[in-house]
Chains A and B, each alone.
Chain A
Amino acid sequence: MDAIATLSSHDNSVVAESNKKRPPAISVNRLAMRYKTSDGDLVALENINFEIGKGEFISVVGPSGCGKSTLLTIIAGLVRATSGIVTVHGNRVTEPISDLGFVFQKDLLLEWRSVLGNILLQADVRGLPREEAKRKALLLLKQVGLEGFENRNPWELSGGMRQRVAICRALLPSAGILLMDEPFGALDALTRDRINLDLQNIWSTERPTALLITHSISEAVFLSDRVLVMSSRPGRIIDDVRIDLPRPRNASTRDTAEFVAFQHRLRMSIGQ
């Protein structure tokens, strides 16, 4: 076990070193977002700067309404920032990027498509070959424990199952970037821990660059290589914590002293 732990942390350091030479997968520079409202300007984000290396898993935690979700839609090119620059794979983002899997807060399953049909929506819109996509979709469903559910209708599934289908949909195109906006917020704690494990396993096979917005410190520590802490409005990055827990992490990882220490450290940061 220790040998595996050393080996995997060694792997991480190799990744970290190679990141220094290559351009980061996502880079955010002096980003700001202001909205005009009836009571004057609302500053949602202010001077946001960070970089994410290729294949890194980053979480952003912070209080409600600090603009975390807005940050994600800006990176995806869905919303235009007031000022600042976002680049993905070295290209400036000016329109919706498509090398992307996006998991939203709501599962957004289309009621007229079956479970499989919802995942294959990716293939249909992107024009990917359907047979190959179908094979991959079935594999993903198996990985999240939904084998045999492919022909069910969305309204026959529980909230946790629906969100797992949404994750499969985001992962189908094997995109380089995976953005997740509090995808597990509405789930109970047990389901949440279970899906966190599934997500970690799938992520580690394909290693997309992942950015997760979450309210749960425990979830952030469990999944991430780094956790960014945001302040309440206007949203700023106030801390950047590297989580060097060995991978793969499992249920008992949550009970280790290091895990608890990371949680404590982040809670202190958020509390300032």
Chain B
Amino acid sequence: MEHNWIMWIIRRVTSQDIVLPTLLLIVLIACWQALSTSGILPVYLVPPPSVVAAKAWETKGLLWFHALVTSYEVLVGFLLSVFGGVLLGATVISSKIVQKTVYPWLVVVQVIPKVAVGPLIVIWLGFGFWPKILIAFLLGFFPIMISTMHGLASVEKEKIYLLQTMGGRRLSTFRYLLLQSSLPDICSSFKVAITLVTIGAIVGEFIGSDNGLGYVLISANGSLDAPLLFVALLWITAISLIFYAIVTAIEKILIPWHVSVRSPTTT
């Protein structure tokens, strides 16, 4: 059994899906290193990979802490975006009056550039945890809300009839039909939202913070520490990828029945 598991990993790692992109990465890094050491790229602007790697090793403890801070902000911001987005989407679509009153203003909130309101949010909420969460939420909730609305609105009328013939009222129709039907739409919006929430958290740290990877970027920028900028970028990329993978896994758990997820079968 354990042997099979190891074989699976080996097969996975040696598959073309893994080998080909890795080869490309190695080639690109080699080129970059060659260009830097030959003096074509100025070292103070584009540090060679060897210097970046050394810097990453040297700062790993410190950046681990900052990465945890940012990850925590992304996590809380994302959860709030999910709850807020689904709740708002479901509320807005539940009644024509609410839709007409509230929806235009939600669009207005969406089109305001969040980076521009950042300083205002810092004045209101200070330099702590919550301004970053708020900015992350403001960026993240909208795609989830729109997808929830789309998902709920595109349930077939006949299926709602079907639930009514079973004596289903609004609540049971929501529970047994609408929620599940709109999950594919909601799940696909998670992928958009998670990247936006990460941007929101980093931007929040830019504007006012003394920790997090956004803060590391800003302070490295202040001291023209290009290697540290690269290292911080690597960390941000890494946590974004991890969150993306988690969200994809959540999709597989929530909607194993959906065409986009289920394994192909023959009928």
Contact = CB atoms under 8 A, between A and B. Distances in A.
B258 A121 contact: no
Interface stretch (B1-9, B52-60, B121-129, B164-172): B164-172
Of A100, A105, A157, A158, chain B has the most CB atoms within 10 Å of the CB of A100
A96 interface: yes
A49 interface: no
Interface in B161-212: 161-168, 172, 176-177, 180
A112 B162 contact: no
Interface residues of B, number: 22
Contact of B165 (A96, A105, A111, A158): A96
A108 B164 CA distance: 13
Contact of B166 (A111, A112, A122, A157): A122
Contact of A112 (B163, B172, B180): B180
A97 B177 CA distance: 19
A104 B162 contact: yes
Contact of A108 (B162, B259, B262): B162
Q: How many residues of A sit at the interface, in one of the four size bands?
A: 20 to 34
B113 to A, nearest CB: 39
B257 interface: yes
Contacts of B265: 153, 155-156
B156 interface: yes
Given A78-B161, A110-B177, A155-B262, A98 B267 contact: no
B159 interface: yes
Nearest to B156: A108
Of A73, A105, A112, chain B has the most CB atoms within 10 Å of the CB of A112
Nearest to B168: A125
Interface of A: 73, 76, 78, 96-98, 100-102, 104-106, 108, 110-112, 121-122, 124-126, 153, 155-158, 173
Interface of B: 156, 158-159, 161-168, 172, 176-177, 180, 255, 257-259, 262, 265, 267
